Amino acid sequence: MDSLPEKEPTTRLVAMPRDTNAAGDIFGGWIMSQVDLAGSIAALRRADKRVVTVAVNSFLFKKPVYVGDLISCYAEVQKTGKTSLTVFVEVYAERNREQHDVVKVTEATLTFVALGEDGKPTSVGQGS
């Protein structure tokens, strides 16, 4: 059994029945969208301006996610280039929350690009 990282999650939400696939598990595309949102928050905070996803460098589904799981996404900027940011995202599911069962379900690396007001790539700021 895993444990939650000792830092503040970037996002946290409960997986709901509307997010299931035909087999009844949470749809992988839903998890991907949550990872993209969490990654964009970390990139936005660092760039201090609008960012867009330009690449999903890696994406690994380690365990399924079930209806009712409390999902916590932890995103951290790993690398900053002139206009781009590489963000690593880990996703944990808390199951049987009364018993504190925690499993790492997904990890991914994404690349974001900072955009200026003209919609073109611009230098990454020095955000938090």
In a domain, 4, yes or no: no
CATH number at residue 95: 3.10.129.10
In a domain, 126, yes or no: no
How far apart CA 6 and CA 107 sit, in angstroms, is 17
Are 43 and 87 contacting, i.e. CB atoms less than 8 angstroms apart? yes
Between the two ends of the chain, the Cα-to-Cα distance in Å is: 32
The strand pairing partners of 85, in sequence order, are 80, 112
In a domain, 41, yes or no: yes
Give, for all 128 residues of the chain, the pLDDT tens digit.
Answer: 688 888 999 999 999 999 999 888 999 999 999 999 999 999 999 999 999 999 999 999 999 999 999 999 999 999 999 999 999 999 999 987 666 789 999 999 999 999 999 999 999 976 65
For 84, the domain range is 11-114
Q: Give me the number of domains the chain comprises.
A: 1
Are 58 and 35 contacting, i.e. CB atoms less than 8 angstroms apart? no
Amino acid at 12: R
Helical spans, DSSP H, in the chain: 28-47
